[in-house]
Structure 1
Amino acid sequence: MSNEAASGAADDARVTPPLPALPESVRGVFASDRLDDLTRYAEMLATDGVVRGLIGPREVPRLWDRHLLNSGVLMAELPEGSSVADIGTGAGLPGMVVAIGRPDLRVTLVEPLLRRTTFLNEVVETLGLTNVEVVRGRADALHGERTFDVVTSRAVAPLDRLLEWSMPLVAPHGRLVALKGSSVSEEIEIARPVLEKFLCAEPVVTALGEGISEVPTNAIHISWADPGRLPSHLIRKAGASKKAKKKSGKGGKKRVV
């Protein structure tokens, strides 16, 4: 490739397509008073998100349907007033979307990469969201420290690995609700040993967004088989964490994430 051609290709890569207008399908899922904040978030994704490498420029034309609406249909699965952890949230999908659309939820966005958490904090500040907490770290750093009514994720890892990260964060009467693709049935079969290890109930798969989104979403729901009998290794870890906190006393410093 000539230098001139290479320069032209680089220029094309830097050109970001404009964000499409708000589609009617989104209006049907989100309350009207949430659309301004959702649109502002979409604009931030389509500009700063692209510049910082959080999403690719080719995703901008399909941002509404493939990403925001695809995440927003999860809202119908979340109980009113529940605490939600979105692990590996990246640029905030689906966690930031459901936090914008459902101000009754308490949403914790868990993400290890600084450039992503910086962007997420900027979105929270720009939109004035009071129901969102951004935690920089891996999901397993919260094991034994916190639990949530719902733990969710989108395209983070195969189900067997996702269970290892997510189930220790699920409250006794809570559940994992992960957004998955068309291979969800195969993932469940591969994850059978891990489901048994964690004493999980039989997974339930629901189709979200049918007739609304061009890309329907599969949600896999996994609860504890017996909320009164959690796996012993989880109980030990939580107990050890509480013992360490007690030993540290009031003079211990709280780690800021």
Structure 2
Amino acid sequence: MLPLPDPLRPAAERVLGDRLEFAERFVDLLAEQGPERGLIGPREVDRLWERHLLNCALMADAIPSDARTLADVGSGAGLPGVVLAIARPDLSVTLIETMQRRTTWLEEVDAELGLGLEVVRARAEDLHGQRTFEVVTARAVAALDKLARWTLPLVEDGGVLLAMKGSSAADEIVKAEKVLTKLGGVDPTIAQYGTGEVEVPTTVVQVRRRAKASRKGDARG
């Protein structure tokens, strides 16, 4: 068992509500199996709640309240996809991951927690032209210019890409400007969630996909 630290409980209870029990079970699974299965480093176990679970849970504040479909690209250990499925049970959540051992883990987590997830083993690019979602999320996958090429074609017209970033967020937006424009991404903004609740707030780059954006744009050439 890896108990939720008392200083973090108010934020966890606010964002997770009566779903906190699911988050506790997920943290225990990560702590027990994550290092040996290559999902997280051994040193991350003691920091799972603040650095990973709650950091991802706060991202739920960025998801539109009326959203119904979400895809998490490069889900890995389930961060943030599994956490967002816990925080927003009203969402239909699809986890997109390329590595077999990770998709196996995600399927096991879904079976254990009963979250009703869809786990897809594929590259994001493989789904271009086939699937779109109201919200697409990513955490620690790639710089924004490269990430946009992979993810924006999965965002439905009028939907939003939510990319968890760090201190380089502003620079990444500048460098990605041409790619975002070509792919129909508009109004890139940076928002922080959890200010005053956690020591390091969650930084999210939000990019909306222009309505009637071309489905053909792929930023090549």
Question: Would you say same fold, with TM above 0.5?
Answer: yes
Q: For residues 181 and 70 of structure 2, what CA distance do their matches in structure 1 show?
A: 24
Alignment map for 1:1-257 (pairs within 5 Å): 19-23=2-6, 24=9, 25-31=11-17, 33-79=18-64, 80-130=66-116, 132-225=117-210, 227-228=211-212, 230-231=213-214, 233-234=216-217
User: Shift of the alpha carbon at 1:81?
Assistant: 4.5
Structure exhibiting the larger radius of gyration computed from Cα positions: 1
Q: Which has the higher contact order (CA 8 A, sep 6+)?
A: 2
TM-score (norm: length of structure 2)? 0.92
Q: Which residue identity does 1:112 align to in structure 2?
A: T
Counterpart secondary structure, 2:83: helix
Higher strand proportion: 2
Letter in 1 for 2:70: V
CA contact 2:72–2:137 (8 Å) conserved in 1: yes
Counterpart of 1:91, as a letter, is A
Tell me how far apart the structure 2 counterparts of residues 121 and 111 of structure 1 sit (CA, whole Å). Answer: 11
Unaligned runs of 5+ in 1: 1-17, 236-257
Amino acid at match of 2:87: G
Tell me how far 1:29 sits from its aligned partner: 2.1
Please tell me whether the aligned partners of residues 190 and 205 of structure 2 are also in contact (alpha carbons under 8 angstroms): yes
Provide the C-alpha distance between the structure 2 equivalents of 1:115 and 1:72, rounded to a whole number of angstroms. Answer: 24
**Matched AA of 1:120:** L
Report % sequence identity: 49
Q: Distance in 2 between matches of 1:160 and 1:144?
A: 20
Deviation track 1:72-127 (CA, whole Å, cap 9, x = no partner) reads 01112212342000000100000100101211011100000111111110010011
How many residue pairs align between the two structures? 214
**TM-score calculated relative to the size of structure 1:** 0.79
Q: Kindly state the Cα deviation for residue 174 of structure 1 after the two structures are TM-superposed.
A: 0.5
Moved more, 20-29 or 120-129: 20-29
Distance in 1 separating the partners of 2:173 and 2:22 = 36
**Structure 2 unaligned spans of 5+:** none
Q: For residue 224 of structure 1, report the CA deviation from its aligned partner.
A: 2.5
